[in-house]
Amino acid sequence: MNLEPGVAVDAFRFGAVPNISMYFLTHFHSDHYGGLSQTWTHGKIYCSEITGRLVMQQLRVSPEFVVMLPLNERLELGKFAVTLIDANHCPGSVLFLFETPRQRILHTGDFRASPAHITHPSIRNKHIDSLYLDTTYLSPKYAFPHQADVVDSCAEVCYKLTHDADFARRVMSRKSEGNQGLMKKLLASIAKQDVAVGKWLIIVGTYSIGKERMAIGIAKKIGAKIFAPPNKRRIYTCLQDPVLDALLTSDPLEGQVHLVSLQEIRPDTLSAYLDQFKPHYSSIVGFRPTGWTYKPPVARGATPKATPSVETVTNLWHSPFSESDMVPSRGSTQTVMYYDIPYSEHSSFRDLTCFCTSLQIGRVIPTVNVGTQASRDQMRMWFDKWGAERRRLGLRKVADSQTRW
């Protein structure tokens, strides 16, 4: 990063980097902290308080190398200042805003861009000379819905499963839509099965941290507690999140919502998972959150090569989502159900488009999918389009009270 000599962001895998003395860490995901361990002695690590506690506890990095900084405060660090801004990614994740008398650099780490980033007092009306951008989903095909809509929809599915004994049968018939003959056969076969009765076990797949909002949303909706295995609960102590803490339990029978690792959620493993807790639970539903399961309407033409206008993307690509859009994945039955859900903690293509047309930006440097020239060219095309749109129409307006693009 071309800030001051001596500063690096999320660059630990190279060991000691010549002339680098200040190492910044945006968040606690292994593709960003990779290389950090208890033997780290190459320089101070600057990060948020949550990330700092995780680095010390989980990686055993010596506290003398960890500098935990508060959010939303402009902090002078010698020749430059830095402000940490909530990234809306996983707990503890931040954007770094670096400022020198000559330039302003915003490094997003991983983030899900939201209006709150644009209206943040440290960013609003400021010119960003260089933007290091999380380009994980910078392609028109990544048109997934707003995160809150996905959480609400999953919570609604769980509420109906736990309150309506016939809901599982009805929802299973959804997947045959579009093929009348097959649908009749399937409905007939479903009707012959016994209607599921008894208690549902709900499991949500997560990485080490991230996706907790899904489990919290479901637990609140159905008035349940959340069980997590000991290794996860130990990680969660670092978050110091009173909402999550109040819902957590160490008893898998008391916690109707289980947070488990993503690998454990596959259609063929759900049955075995349920067997451990029978007869307390008699049915199971698993949610596997990933960003790229959403299929936008075909008419939208959202293919990787599509080049819709910026106005089309910002005005029309809202990707509404509700419980009725949720269809159980292949292999589901009335008592073992499985959903891939378009829950993402990275920006959608529309989020990125709105963010980059609301902000005065000098140049954009992509941080993800930079491996091939073709991919870099494709991203550059969008950066240029966004720049042209800013010059043509001025900055997109974002109100202080706005929570959605």
Residues 317 and 221: their CA atoms lie apart, in Å, by 28
Pick the closer one to Zn ion by CB: 29 or 146. 29
Pick the closer one to Zn ion by CB: 30 or 125. 30
Tokens of 400: 């202080």
Q: How far is CA 14 from the centre of its chain?
A: 26
- Taking a C-beta distance cutoff of 8 angstroms, is the pair 111, 87 a contact? yes
Minimum distance, C-beta of residue 289 to Zn ion, in the bound complex (Å): 13
Which range binds Zn ion by CB under 5 A, 6-14, 107-115, 154-162, 322-330? Answer: 107-115
In one-letter notation, the amino acid at residue 347 is S
213 sits near Zn ion (criterion: CB under 5 A):
no
Minimum distance, C-beta of residue 209 to Zn ion, in the bound complex (Å): 9
Pick the closer one to Zn ion by CB: 290 or 333. 290
Residues 317 and 328: their CA atoms lie apart, in Å, by 24
Which range binds Zn ion by CB under 5 A, 3-11, 77-85, 108-116, 228-236? Answer: 108-116
Alpha helices in 78-179 (DSSP H): 115-118, 147-163, 167-172
110 sits near Zn ion (criterion: CB under 5 A):
yes
- 3-state secondary structure at position 51: helix
Each residue 146-185 as x (binds Zn ion by CB under 5 A) or -, in order, gives: ----------------------------------------
Minimum distance, C-beta of residue 28 to Zn ion, in the bound complex (Å): 8
- What DSSP element (H or E) covers 45? strand 44-48
Pick the closer one to Zn ion by CB: 153 or 348. 348
212 sits near Zn ion (criterion: CB under 5 A):
no
- Residue/partner pairs of 29-35 with CB below 8 Å, 24 or more apart: 29/90, 29/110, 29/207, 29/208, 29/209, 29/210, 30/208, 32/109, 32/110, 33/59
Minimum distance, C-beta of residue 264 to Zn ion, in the bound complex (Å): 20
Pick the closer one to Zn ion by CB: 110 or 149. 110
Say how many residues touch Zn ion, by CB under 5 A: 2
29 sits near Zn ion (criterion: CB under 5 A):
yes
For binding to Zn ion (CB under 5 A), which residues are involved? 29, 110
